[in-house]
Amino acid sequence: MSQQVVAGTAGATAPAVLLRTAARRRADWRRRRLVLLLMSPWILGFSVFFGYPLVMSAYLSFNHYDLLSSPRWVGWANYHYLLRVDPQTWVAVRNTVWIICVAVPLQVLFAFGIAMLLARAKSGAGFFRTVFYLPALAPPVAATLGFVYILNPATGPLNTILGKLGIQGPLWFQSPHWSKPALVGLGLWGIGNTMVIFLAAVLDVPQHLYESAELDGAGPLQRLRWVTLPSVSPVILFAVVLGVIQGLQYFTQAYVAASIASGQASQAGDTLNALGYPEDSTLFYPVLLYQHGFNDFQMGYASSMAMLLLLVSFAVTLVIVLNSRKWVHQAVPR
Amino acid sequence: MLAVANHSLLIAAAIAFLAPFGFIVLTSLMTTNQALSAHLWPHPFRLRNFIDVFTTAPLWRWTLNTMLYSCLATIGVLVSSVPVAYALARLRWRGRDFAFLVVLIALMLPPQVSVVPLYVMWAKLHLVGTLWPLIIPNWLGDAFSIFLLRQFFLTIPEDYLDAARVDGCGELRILFTVVTRLAKPAIAAVALFSFLYTFNDFFLPLLYVGENSHNWVLSIGLAQFRSLHQVQWNLTMAATLLVMAPVIVLFFLAQRAFVEGVTLTGVKG
Amino acid sequence: MRKRTAAAVVLIAASLVAATAAARSVHSTAPKEVTAPTKLTVWAGWSAGHELKVFKAVVAEYDRKHPEVTINVVGGIDDNKIVAAIRSGTAPDVVSSFNSYNVGNYCGSGGWIDLAPLMKKDNIDASMFPSAPRYYTQYEGKRCALPLLADDYGLYYNKKLFKAAGITHPPKTLSELAADAKKLTVRDKSGNIKIAGFDPVVGFYENTPDRWIQAFGAKWLNAKGNSAIGSDPGWAKWAKWMKSLIDWYGYDKLVRFQAQPIDEFTPSQAFETGKLAMNFDGEWRVAFIHNEHPDLDYGTAPMPVDDAHPDLYGSGYINGTIIGIPRGVKHQDQAWALVKYLTTADHPLAVLSNGLRNVPTTQSSLNSKEIVPDAHFSTFLKIFAHPKSGTSPILASGQAYTNSVQRFFQQWQAGKVKDLNAGLKNLAKQLDAQVAQAKGGGGVP
């Protein structure tokens, strides 16, 4: 397109200029039409599946709505109940904050550590890489089910093995103190994706940087600190952002683990109190939102929860993105 | 010395990573009572479990539903995301950066934020209980795929496209012929990720088909399997293995595409 | 190359769409003839062992006698599914639920239709149902459900273990219960519980606050209709009794005991396998034991009561299955015909009672000659008829209030609540706020 314009400008006379402008306008219009055509799926998709729900969520959050009768305006009542009255709100917030603050650093460390081990491996790197990547392929529901079984306090393999070593294993998913650590363990098992990205980044670090550092007298730890870490800092940022986003949406594993574990311990049949089992320790914010919106009859109230979640997600990602330049070493062009 | 320590750590980690798989496989071969006890090794090996799973639960129907969802969604993602990514990467127009920012914002949004009004909308359209609320949004662009493809399209040298333009190709033809051919690894990665994501999806299927067991997908069926067959952990583990199997097989067949794709997200992302 | 891939993609897409269409047409209804029977779908909660089979058999009998309808029974339904189905407009023709907690929501919102006009047309008077089931199938005068067999709760005790411990009769008071439980408990070398005399943990099997509080005669609501949990002394008394027994066992030891594979609705249930000497359970357990462990030497008795209220002995908590018709149903007349049959005719109630060992919910069916007498089961019939037996209130907040109460006592039994009385008062305030919020308010009243 730019070529046509350039070709037209050379040696122009007045009527040619007019022709050129008209041609350019036609070209512009064609281009705009093309852009519209190409962008149309996203424009439609965004409006229907992001724009509309956001506006509607905001509206519903000021209403009492159970989808059986029409919405009834209640003003700030939902927010008041959410922030001041509901005893589960702050439990859910604390749990979500916990899982983000504990799981994300651990996952980044673990993925980076394994990647370093793999990068140094002389033989069988391909085999090991497959082994570490495989669990990440397991569907979350399947992986959670497997873990709940393995971590069964009475008959699960883990506690059986611990018993043979003379340790009485904890109650894992049956204990409010161990349920979240068990979930973190589950998350670490599925670290494959992040690990592969770290591996690629670590392998990408130019060898000459290490060599010059060594020449300067840097030991292995110093090489790690001053060469490796800065080079992989973009990946660290990526992993942290991804981890935080996932933490704010954490639902599936908590839901499945709680429902399986509570059924196992013979929860009184009819009351559906399973979510958050045991003792609300696995009650994360998205889980509570689901419970209020889709188990109880409170869609307006769930919308107010959603608005709060939106605010927090926005704030958190803003903080990370704005500070990314400070934390991430800009890659030196090669 | 360091190499030996490195290697032994690797082996220890590998054992820790493989152990859960091992336990799941062993349990899936046990009898019901054995699975309930603290035994670690099946005695005898009960391969029948894998057949019993199919008679105790409609695993085939769940698989069909999952395939329908995943395949249709993946095709939709490709069809709708490639043009958008191209427009964001290689065409210059006013508001392009803003549009890309919007894509980024959509990427960070937790699905729970939009779930209530969308559910209301689908309920009013009488589509709750079917797979359509899951499939249709994927035909209108997927933020992650758009992002990934756009990053990749940015790396295509303008020369290729200019050469095609000189030859008289319209922009659309350039897109469908030159660009898609050059971006095959990225497109393969996007297809793979979409398929995996929809295959593993639990939250949205729970919401939309949770109450209609006829349309359950594998993730829902597996989660409910235990509540329907409470005591039979051996069958549950067998079912778990069967659900994990297609993905792992897919991985071994398309290993390179997988790893390349994952690396792509991290490096270009 | 590109044309081929494009064609391939189109082909795949087309074949998938065709497959969907084909699949859907296979599942679609029979060809429309004028004489085709109306298809009705019935959702029921039963799923375990024999229970769904019994219900399906009774419905099949009705189906055979009524060729103008064909009925499909779907089991394993819970309230969440019912709510979801009603909201998405895909509800079946008849729904039933195991508990009455959500009746406030169902009736109040019109999710289940008002049955009063239908009952009037067929001259059915609500007084044919006993008082507790009559209460928990309506809300503020709107009757949107009918009772379909009731449950009541009592004490199951293992006679063999009793003999071995030298206990001659089942406990009548809670202090006797605690003493007997301690005598019957057997621990292993490491102090873990091998046989538990009694497990009072809230959330275990059928232990929920509403069932327990019957033993203390405590009230849920005061005269003004607000929560009495903070004011009625019975609640604190139960909490203290329950905690002292739990502390004797050691809370962690009980959790570990419960973590075994002793799932409630399976043959490995703890009482049926002799791991639990006494159990607080519903009347349906009689049928399970009959089907799964017929050699078990056991007895049934009313639940022990508060030492200060011996007059309550013989009573128990009543709740039960409810059945109704969701909003927007197309074949309301046939649906109502089925509901009427199941809930008011003696025969289906008697057959269901025999098979499920649930309590029939009409005065006449209670005396039906079809009921097979059973010594264990007759205890529960007596509990059902006891004048002091009661049920939990129907509130606008639906099952949310039971969840809140249960959650509080679960924290209490784990030792997380320091000040019981303050905690109970706070709980009462929360329950009131919950009701206000459910009604569309939002704050503390």
pLDDT tens digits for range B134-175: 999 999 988 889 988 888 888 888 887 777 777 777 777 777
Contact residues, A window 100-159, toward B, CB-based 8 Å cutoff:
114, 117-118, 120-122, 128, 130-135, 137-143, 145-147, 149-150, 154-155, 157
Cβ contacts of residue B117 below 8 Å, gap of 6+?
A: A52, A53, A56, A57, A60, A303
Does the beta-carbon distance from C443 to A298 stay under 8 Å?
Answer: no
Query: pLDDT band at A289, cuts 50/70/90?
Result: very high
Distance CA(C39)–CA(C72), nearest Å, equals: 8
Which residues does chain B have with pLDDT short of 70? Answer: 1, 226-231, 257-258, 261-262, 264-269
Query: pLDDT band at A8, cuts 50/70/90?
Result: very low
Which residues does chain C have with pLDDT short of 70? Answer: 1-35, 49, 440-445
DSSP state of C302: P
Distance CA(C138)–CA(C129), nearest Å, equals: 12
Contact (Cβ atoms closer than 8 angstroms) between residue A196 and residue A133: yes
Does the beta-carbon distance from B129 to C6 stay under 8 Å?
Answer: no
Does the beta-carbon distance from B64 to C81 stay under 8 Å?
Answer: no
Task: Look at residue B89 in the predicted model and tell me its pLDDT.
Answer: 86
Angle, CA B178 vertex, CA B174 and CA B180 arms, to 5° = 105
Q: Which of A78, A268, A297 sits opposite C208 (nearest CB)?
A: A268
Distance CA(A133)–CA(B247), nearest Å, equals: 12
> Which residues in chain A have their CB less than 8 angstroms from residue B202's CB?
140-141, 251-252, 255-256
> Which residues in chain C have their CB less than 8 angstroms from residue B129's CB?
85, 88, 90
Distance CA(A271)–CA(B17), nearest Å, equals: 37
Q: Which of B41, B88, B112 to mutate to test the interface with A (most CBs of A within 10 A)?
A: B112
C185 touches chain A (CB under 8 A): no
| CATH 3.40.640.10 correct for B58-266 | no
Q: Which of C28, C74, C88, C327 to mutate to test the interface with B (most CBs of B within 10 A)?
A: C88
Q: How far is CA C344 from the centre of its chain?
A: 20
Query: pLDDT band at A121, cuts 50/70/90?
Result: confident
Helix (H, G, I), strand (E, B) or coil at C147: strand
State how far residue C150 is from chain B, nearest Cα, in angstroms: 24
Distance CA(A304)–CA(C231), nearest Å, equals: 33
> In terms of CA atoms, which chain B residue is nearest residue C259?
B36
Judged against a pLDDT cut of 80, whether residue A170 lies above it is answered with yes
Contact residues, A window 190-229, toward B, CB-based 8 Å cutoff:
193-194, 196-198, 200-201, 204, 220
Which residue, among A64, A56, A98, A105, has the nearest Cα to A82 in the 3D structure?
Answer: A64
Q: Decide: residue A161, CB within 10 A, 0-12 exposed, 13-18 middle, 19+ buried.
A: middle
Contact (Cβ atoms closer than 8 angstroms) between residue C386 and residue C292: no
Does the beta-carbon distance from B113 to A53 stay under 8 Å?
Answer: yes
A74 touches chain C (CB under 8 A): yes
| Each residue's pLDDT tens digit, A97-120 | 999 999 999 999 999 999 988 888
Query: pLDDT band at A59, cuts 50/70/90?
Result: very high
Q: Which pair of structure tokens corresponds to residue B262?
A: 């994952």
Contact (Cβ atoms closer than 8 angstroms) between residue B263 and residue A200: yes
Query: pLDDT band at A6, cuts 50/70/90?
Result: very low
C141 touches chain A (CB under 8 A): no
Within a 10 A sphere around the Cβ of A174, how many other Cβ atoms? 25
B210 touches chain C (CB under 8 A): yes
Query: pLDDT band at A264, cuts 50/70/90?
Result: low
Does the beta-carbon distance from A85 to C430 stay under 8 Å?
Answer: yes
| Each residue's pLDDT tens digit, C137-179 | 999 888 999 999 999 999 999 999 999 999 999 999 999 999 9
Task: Look at residue A151 in the predicted model and tell me its pLDDT.
Answer: 92
> Which residues in chain C have their CB less than 8 angstroms from residue A298's CB?
437-438
Q: Position of tokens 């593993």? A: B200
Contact residues, A window 255-274, toward B, CB-based 8 Å cutoff:
255-256, 259-260, 263
C252 touches chain A (CB under 8 A): yes
Comparing A5-9, A33-37, C314-318, C430-434, which segment has the lowest mean pLDDT?
Answer: A5-9
A303 touches chain C (CB under 8 A): no
Does the beta-carbon distance from A142 to B248 stay under 8 Å?
Answer: no
Does the beta-carbon distance from C205 to A68 stay under 8 Å?
Answer: no
Distance CA(A37)–CA(A49), nearest Å, equals: 19
Report residue A99: phi and psi, to 5°.
-65, -35
> What residue segments make up the domains of chain B, in order of their start?
1-47, 58-266
Query: pLDDT band at A69, cuts 50/70/90?
Result: confident
Q: Which of A41, A130, A137 sits opposite B141 (nearest CB)?
A: A41
Which residue, among C142, C110, C107, has the nearest Cα to C126 in the 3D structure?
Answer: C142
State how far residue C260 is from chain B, nearest Cα, in angstroms: 8
Judged against a pLDDT cut of 70, whether residue A256 lies above it is answered with yes
Q: Which of C87, C208, C410 sits opposite A68 (nearest CB)?
A: C87
Helix (H), strand (E) at residue A60: helix A52-60
Distance CA(B156)–CA(B181), nearest Å, equals: 11
Q: Which residues pair with C204 in a beta bridge?
A: A267
Enter the ipTM: 0.87
Name all chains with 3 or more CB-CB pairs below 8 Å to chain C.
A, B
Q: Decide: residue C225, CB within 10 A, 0-12 exposed, 13-18 middle, 19+ buried.
A: exposed
**For residues A50-66, average pLDDT:** 92
Q: Which of A6, A30, A31, A38 to mutate to test the interface with B (most CBs of B within 10 A)?
A: A38
C208 touches chain A (CB under 8 A): yes
Contact residues, A window 164-223, toward C, CB-based 8 Å cutoff:
168, 171, 174-176
A281 touches chain C (CB under 8 A): no
Does the beta-carbon distance from C407 to A263 stay under 8 Å?
Answer: no
Q: Which pair of structure tokens corresponds to residue B148?
A: 């990934």
Q: Which of A154, A264, A273 sits opposite C263 (nearest CB)?
A: A264
Task: Look at residue A9 in the predicted model and tell me its pLDDT.
Answer: 47
Task: Look at residue C278 in the predicted model and tell me its pLDDT.
Answer: 95
Of residues C145 and A320, more confidence is placed in C145
Q: How far is CA A253 from the centre of its chain?
A: 13
Which residue, among A239, A220, A217, A214, has the nearest Cα to A119 in the 3D structure?
Answer: A220
Does the beta-carbon distance from B116 to A60 stay under 8 Å?
Answer: yes
